[in-house]
């Protein structure tokens, strides 16, 4: 197996037609630029273009930077499996499961891993009962990323508004008990957790604007935790990542509230923009952006192709 990016034939997938299209283009461009600087032969493909798959080079390795529906949910992974094309990251099962936040939480609950209680809600739900049972909630589409469609609700009136907003995504909506506390994320790379990051948004929570627009969100990496706290957080994140079927690389988001760590979700194709967290964690571990890409490639080949 080639362990050098020099002259490697790589295809970077980006764009697509999900709600995260613009972020995917930024991620894909950052990765493609870095690969070219490392000497790889790079083809850039936007999957929103009809017949894009016909432009796949022969014997290429695909770096998948498609965020959200279509690229992060097992669909593109299944296509590559059927075409026998080598690709990065999680396979069909892990991608499909992690894209569904509710089903991921059911797996965690079955294993006794800590995650906030939740309900699937729709227009027929008794929202007063939901608030009575769960208290204040985070409302989110079950299969969108980048905080698309997410909002907080503290009473029936605000829950009605939050449900309407989340329903615009066209997928199922969940109400999750709101955890009051600090937000953290742990990147996983080839079976190892990277240094945790504490996220300090200037806004009410780490929403789309805080992630990609405002530039006011603060990050502490490594997170200001004791060695014991860090090891416990990393161990929990890795267990949650592997339990969800995710592979090679990704990111586990958590909150620390009054009852301790609470798992939120797994991202199997995290952002790779200038604001993104996995590159920050890799840098804290002493890796350059190119080193990170090489590790993703090597891990993908190892997990999926035994190379």
What stretches of the chain show up as alpha helix (H) in DSSP?
Answer: 21-37, 75-83, 92-99, 101-110, 127-134, 156-167, 208-212, 227-243, 277-284, 289-305
Instruction: Identify the bridge partners of residue 197 per DSSP, sorted by sequence position.
Output: 185
Pairing between β-strand 151-153 and β-strand 182-189 as defined by DSSP bridges: unpaired
User: Is the same domain home to 225 and 260?
Assistant: yes
Q: Count the neighbouring beta carbons within 10 Å of the beta carbon of residue 171.
A: 16
CATH number at residue 278: 3.30.470.20
What is the reported pLDDT for 215? 63
The answer to whether position 307 is within a domain reads no
User: Is the same domain home to 226 and 279?
Assistant: yes
The answer to whether position 142 is within a domain reads yes
User: Is the same domain home to 222 and 279?
Assistant: yes
Q: Which residues are catalytic?
A: 20, 146, 212, 251, 253, 265, 267, 271
The answer to whether position 294 is within a domain reads no
User: Is the same domain home to 192 and 280?
Assistant: yes
Mean pLDDT in each 10-residue stretch from start to end of the chain (307 residues)? 79 93 95 96 95 91 95 96 96 97 97 98 96 96 76 95 92 95 97 97 59 70 97 98 98 96 97 90 96 96 87
User: Is the same domain home to 163 and 196?
Assistant: no
User: Is the same domain home to 105 and 245?
Assistant: yes
What is the reported pLDDT for 149? 82
Whether the Cβ atoms of residue 146 and residue 19 lie closer than 8 Å to each other? yes
User: Is the same domain home to 14 and 81?
Assistant: yes
Domain that holds residue 153: 118-177
Final residue of a structural domain among 129, 148, 177 = 177
Q: For the chain, how many structural domains are there in total?
A: 3
User: Is the same domain home to 42 and 23?
Assistant: yes
User: Is the same domain home to 150 and 197?
Assistant: no
Residues in Cβ contact with 28 at an 8 Å cutoff, skipping those fewer than 6 apart: 12, 13, 14, 15, 44, 63, 65, 272
Pairing between β-strand 118-121 and β-strand 61-64 as defined by DSSP bridges: unpaired
User: Is the same domain home to 82 and 222?
Assistant: no
d(CA 188, CA 299): 11
d(CA 83, CA 20): 25
The answer to whether position 292 is within a domain reads no
What is the reported pLDDT for 205? 54
What is the reported pLDDT for 5? 84
Residues comprising the chain, all counted: 307
């Amino acid at each position: 197996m080639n362990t050098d990016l020099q002259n490697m034939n790589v295809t970077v997938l980006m764009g697509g037609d999900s709600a995260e299209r613009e972020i995917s283009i930024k991620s894909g461009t950052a990765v493609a630029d870095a690969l070219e600087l490392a000497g790889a032969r790079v083809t850039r493909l936007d999957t929103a273009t009809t017949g894009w798959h016909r432009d796949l080079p022969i014997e290429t390795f695909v770096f998948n930077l498609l965020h959200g529906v279509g690229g992060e949910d097992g669909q593109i992974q299944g296509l590559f499996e059927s075409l026998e094309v080598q690709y990065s990251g999680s396979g069909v099962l892990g991608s499909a499961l992690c894209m569904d936040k509710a089903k991921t939480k059911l797996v965690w609950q079955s294993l006794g891993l800590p995650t906030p209680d939740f309900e699937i809600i729709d227009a027929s739900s008794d929202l007063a009962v939901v608030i009575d049972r769960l208290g204040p909630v985070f409302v989110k589409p079950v299969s969108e990323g980048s905080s698309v469609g997410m909002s907080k609700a503290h009473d029936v009136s605000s829950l009605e508004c939050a449900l309407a907003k989340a329903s615009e995504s066209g997928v199922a909506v969940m109400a999750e008990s709101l955890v009051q506390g600090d937000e953290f994320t742990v990147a996983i790379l080839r079976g190892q957790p990277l240094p945790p990051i504490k996220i300090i948004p200037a806004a009410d929570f780490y929403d789309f604007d805080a992630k990609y627009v405002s530039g006011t969100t603060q990050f502490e990496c490594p997170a200001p935790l004791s060695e014991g706290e860090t090891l416990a957080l990393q161990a929990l994140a890795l267990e949650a990542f592997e339990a969800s079927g995710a592979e090679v690389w990704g990111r586990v988001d958590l909150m620390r509230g009054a009852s301790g760590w609470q798992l939120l979700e797994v991202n199997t194709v995290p952002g790779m923009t200038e604001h993104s967290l996995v590159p920050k964690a890799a840098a804290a571990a002493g890796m350059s952006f190119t080193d990170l890409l090489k590790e993703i490639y090597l891990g993908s080949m190892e997990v999926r192709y035994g190379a």
